[in-house]
Structure 1
Amino acid sequence: MTLQASPLKASRREVFAGLAVAAWALPTIVRAQGAPAPISWAPKALTLDQARTLSAACEAIVPETDTPGAIAAGVPQKIDGWIADWLDPPAGERLKAGIDQLSERARVRGAAGFAALTQDQKVALLSEVEGEQRAADRQRPPVPHYWNTLKGLTTTAYFTSQAGATKAARYDPVPGAYKGCVPLKDIGRVWATT
């Protein structure tokens, strides 16, 4: 007669093995849910939290589809550089305060920050902010708001990036290729304007 492990002992082993795996994976799970998302660039004008929020906001404005998104196109880094080197200081401070406001509003909703929200939650929050921008524009005199700056810089940075100009938009090199001494029969009739 051979002794077999009782089902209770076998399930204890499975439970302990599962606990060991869970203990090993728990820090990764916690980092994924509550810790800030990493960024792959060093901000010049923004704090790390602001850079994470800016990256998430840019990606929510121009998400990755069959074309690269804002992060893949380097949009957040470009905007950070513009804030540091080019943007009017009051507009830069208003934009940074708006980025902080996005994080705070996400925290009020129970998230660790704006970057921790789901894509749908990010879009919903940005839609609220856009509604506030419209209300601020209707006031006389209009009250400056950060949304138009954020959205404008995001789209400008995206469509002036290589990915935006060549993959999201149709690229037409102007003036085009030069072909000298082409026979008239290959061209056809000449163009005339009135």
Structure 2
Amino acid sequence: MAPISLSRREAFAGALASLWVVPAIAHAQAAQAVPAWTPKALTLDEARILAAACERIVPATDTPGAGAVGVPQFVDRAMAGWAEPDEAQRLRAGLAALDAQAKAQFKSPFAALPTEAQDALLTAVQAEGSRFANGQPPQPHWFLALRELATVGYFTSEAGATKALRYDPVPGDYRGCVPLKEIGRAWAT
């Protein structure tokens, strides 16, 4: 996947937003917002970080973003019921490290940061995950796993499959009971 990039609309919106000073209270309230879902594998703080990160991985444009289609819930369910315990722990540790980096660099939790700051942190984390010693990572980087889960969660959702992707519920014409002579040999691929 290409590095996180901004569209012209997002860049312009970010430039306009940077002209306004947002009170620290608003950021603190955003960080304390309770998710609309109950996490199964994560704490509430981890769920907030996850939701904010997923929304930056698949932001809302002319199609719904990750939060609107339930990607954070998908990732949480995958961590609770599908992922190996060490994989889930690596993802949780990565979310904690991301939040700690946000607090150290911006003096605010990751979920409360403006989108430009979140993008900057995620771009740095993605670059870190892309560097391998001797071409092979010792273990998959937590952000690469999160990005993959977020992408799968988004494109397997109804909105992701029907609004972001082209969708044709019945590809081609349906012709039932076609004589075998018209079809010929079957396709292998």
TM bin, normalised by shorter chain, reads 0.7 to 0.9
Q: Give 1:143's match in structure 2, choosing from 128, 138, 154.
A: 138
Q: CA deviation at 1:141?
A: 4.9
2:104 to 101, 108, 122: 108
Deviation of 1:171 (Å): 1.0
TM normalised by structure 1 equals 0.73
CA contact under 8 A between 1:111 and 1:117: conserved in structure 2? no
- Structure 1's unaligned 5+ residue stretches are 1-28, 183-189
Q: Note closer, same or farther for the CA distance 1:139–1:38 as it changes in structure 2 (3 Å cut).
A: farther
Aligned residue for 1:66, secondary structure, equals coil
On the 8 A contact 1:55/1:76 being kept in 2, the answer is yes
Query: Could you say which structure has the larger radius of gyration?
Result: 1
**Residue identity matched to 2:77:** G
**Partner Cα separation in structure 2 for residue 31 and residue 178 of structure 1:** 59
CA distance in 1, matches of 2:61, 2:161: 15
Cα distance in 1 between the residues matched to 2:170 and 2:110: 40
Q: How does 1:49-60 map to 2 (within 5 A)?
A: 49-60=45-56
The one-character-per-residue Cα deviations of 1:91-127 (angstroms, maximum 9, x if unpaired) are: 1100010011111111012343111111111111111
In 1, Cα distance between the equivalents of 2:183 and 2:173?
18
The CA RMSD over aligned residues, in Å, is 2.4
| Number of residue pairs aligned between Structure 1 and Structure 2 | 158
Normalising by structure 2, we get a TM-score of: 0.75
2:33 aligned with 1:33: no
